[in-house]
Amino acid sequence: MAYLFTSESVSEGHPDKIADQISDALIDNFLAWDEDARVAIETLVTTGQVVLAGEVKSKIYLDVQKITRSVIERIGYTKSEYMFEANSCGVLSAIHEQSADINQGVDRITRQEQGAGDQGIMFGYANNETDNLMPLALDLSHRLLYELAALRRENKEITYLRPDAKSQVTLEYSDDHKPQRIDTIVISTQHDDFASEEEMQQKIKADIIAILLPRVKAQLKPELQALFNDDIKFHINPTGKFVIGGPHGDSGLTGRKIIVDTYGGKGAHGGGAFSGKDPSKVDRSAAYATRHIAKNLVAAGVADELLVQISYAIGVKDPMGIYVNTYGTSKIGLSDSEIAKKISDIFDMTPYGIETRLGLRNPIYSETAAYGHMGRTPKRVTKTFENSNGEVKTIEVDLFTWERLDYVDRIKEAFNI
């Protein structure tokens, strides 16, 4: 019997995502000047106010107010009528030094012996629904909002958009878990005020269907384009009006969109957020590492769908164990436990091994903080940073290294594929 599955996404202007982006911009600036920095920063945003809190161990001092305001400006909160504006909002910092009790569990005489920065469980997931080996409902939800933000910045075809937005896509699946069609699309987008509420709803719905959807559809391969149909149910700004939004409409906090950040409800999640944490925190680094494993195994042909779990104890470098679930889609005649054993032989999952393999001690995190940490395109970029003394540093970094398919050949050899 067919069934429905839904995933959601939120835009870069959503309050929780503003908080994530500020936290990760601070991470990047610390790592740009001090690659050994230990950082855990939480951000709260509300009407006209940003509050920064957390722990830092670093040799560098940063102008956190300036960095915070630059993020808010880049997102697009630049008008006073938003009641949250880059140059006028308050920025309160309550950042203090990291606990020595935590730090002694992480730092060791050699970096190779570095312990995990926290206990916990982390999951990585991949399936073959999309070219980037991500769940399709989440991939479409992200694409809708990424293109909506592009339309907002272009300010040509649609000129009334404001930064806050959410999306949701419901797919119908067959009994054998293949997507058959798009059942429902939900989009709520913040907008300028209209003279008439009826005109507003008609205009926004028409523009979403006639302008946004074709741009997203054009990015997809033909078999995914075919999922779009005349029977899709649309709920566009279903409350009727969305003028008040952003931090003035709802407060935002770092780490409240962990399902949006990962797999949209597919697979599993260990509960730990990513943004605001340096890579010694395995909540972040091991989640990237398990995604890297899952993606490469699916790409190599080990299974059509695969979940990897790993667990750590704080201060201990070796993981407690690795678990694999192929959901009955394994193609290689090995049990899931046998696959897990081979993963342990191929991948160094100590915190130091993960950091070095994926280049996580670089300032690469701002780009992860909106539109998902997984399923993104690996690329090399040049980034420029300025410290509180006015010194400027330009760094070339590799983004989304955990999305590389650089272990496929090694996996095929190990599994005799």
Binding site residue list for Mg(2+): 16
Sheet architecture: strand order including 3-10: 3-10, 161-173, 179-191, 233-236
User: Residue positions in the annotated binding site for L-methionine?
Assistant: 55, 98, 250, 281
Backbone angles phi, psi at 259, to 5 degrees: -80, -40
d(CA 17, CA 163): 11
d(CA 65, CA 91): 6
Q: Which two tokens stand for residue 259?
A: 């399902």
Neighbours of 100 (CB within 10 A): 9
Report the number of secondary-structure helices (H) and strands (E) in the chain.
13, 13
Alpha helices in 76-229 (DSSP H): 100-106, 136-154, 197-207, 213-217, 222-225
User: Residue positions in the annotated binding site for ATP?
Assistant: 14, 164-166, 241-242, 250, 256-257, 273, 277
d(CA 409, CA 388): 45
Q: What is the gyration radius of the CA atoms in the chain, in angstroms?
A: 22
User: Residue positions in the annotated binding site for K(+)?
Assistant: 42
d(CA 376, CA 367): 10
d(CA 220, CA 130): 9
User: Residue positions in the annotated binding site?
Assistant: 14, 16, 42, 55, 98, 164-166, 241-242, 250, 256-257, 273, 277, 281
197 class by beta-carbon count within 10 Å (0-12 exposed, 13-18 middle, 19+ buried): exposed
d(CA 410, CA 60): 40
**Which helix H or strand E contains 80, and what residues bound it?**
none
Q: Which two tokens stand for residue 318?
A: 């070796």
